Amino acid sequence: MSSLLFRHNLSLDVLRPYLRGYKHDLPIAPDQWAQAESLGLPVGSLVVSLEAVSMTGEEAEDQQTYKVAELNVVVGVDGERPIVLVISPETYELTFLESVMAKRANDANLTGWDYSYIIIEPAHALPDEKVHEVEEIGLSFARGGSRRERRPDGAGIMDPAIPLLTALGLELDSAAAKKMLDLAAFVYLVFEEPEPGADTPIKRAKDSFRPVQAAGGPAPEAPPEEAPPAVSMSAGEQQATDAVSQGAEPAMEPPPEPAAAMPEPPAETSDLAQQGKRFHRTVEEKKDDLQKLLGLGGIF
């Protein structure tokens, strides 16, 4: 395994607070688990399917790591059922998240290897116009296909990861925007800072996205706190401090006036029902074309 691939794997210690999944010996049918597990994610959520990598050697010392298997971007909601664009290293397709999870859980039963995944969300709630933009981008790739396919105008390739993630806040340099996005590098940079001096075309991944902690998972490690700066005292303050230390009663200051009540924060985003209605309106406008392309009448 090359050092580049090794750097893009994430350790169990880093992922532990965010790790979710299906255990191969879980006493519930994969379809039932997938139906319940996939509900309720809003447009813009990223579900990252992972594969465990057991590494041995002098440097790894049997440290368990995970690599990115696929990126599922929620581009619509039907009721509470998320519709995702499934982006693998080579291809993409539009389907229900429930179908993706059911397949992964079935594979876990067959192979005896647990299915693991994490959820990443935009760092800030998406306004309605941004939700609509992501829905439109997702539907424009409903045909499915290869991420290496050239655009009709010759300006780059048909990789849906680029317009979807940039719409959600990711920044890429101009050259990288014309190439296939490295999904593993993107996910890695959501968790880790790039190495000192590393020249990466992926910008602001950690500022634009954040991992979602799993229910019941351990709390993420907090960054070390810096010691507060020393506060200098005026001559009068120093005299008052000295007087208290010598047993004298300090002069009482009048209590501060109560602070003005803070205004109620505005609602950050529309609920899933509103997203679903808007997504269906968009789909209805393109329904005939989508069914001709996909034969997916069951989805829409």
Question: Per residue in 139-183, pLDDT tens?
Answer: 999 999 999 998 777 777 889 999 999 999 999 888 878 889 999
Please answer whether residues 13 and 63 qualify as being in contact, where contact means their C-beta atoms are separated by less than 8 angstroms.
no
Share of residues in the chain with pLDDT > 90 (%): 53
Q: How many residues does the chain have?
A: 300
pLDDT tier, 87 (very low <50, low <70, confident <90, very high otherwise): very high
235-284 confidence digits (pLDDT tens):
555 555 555 455 555 555 566 665 555 555 445 444 555 665 666 666 56
Q: What pLDDT score does 208 carry?
A: 94
pLDDT in tens, 41-77: 999 999 999 999 866 555 554 578 999 999 999 999 9
User: CA 74, CA 85: separation in Å to the nearest integer?
Assistant: 7
- List the one residue out of 256, 230, 233 whose CA is nearest residue 245: 233
86 bridge partner residues: 72, 93
Q: What is the pLDDT of residue 1?
A: 34
Q: Which residues contact residue 252 at a Cβ distance below 8 angstroms, ignoring those fewer than 6 apart? A: none
Give the pLDDT score at 286.
59
Q: How far apart are CA 151 and CA 157, in angstroms?
A: 5
Give the pLDDT of residue 246: 58
Q: What is the bridge-based pairing of β-strands 171-172 and 81-87?
A: unpaired
State what percent of residues in the chain have pLDDT above 70. Answer: 66
Q: Considering only CA atoms, which of 72, 44, 37 is closest in space to residue 270?
A: 44
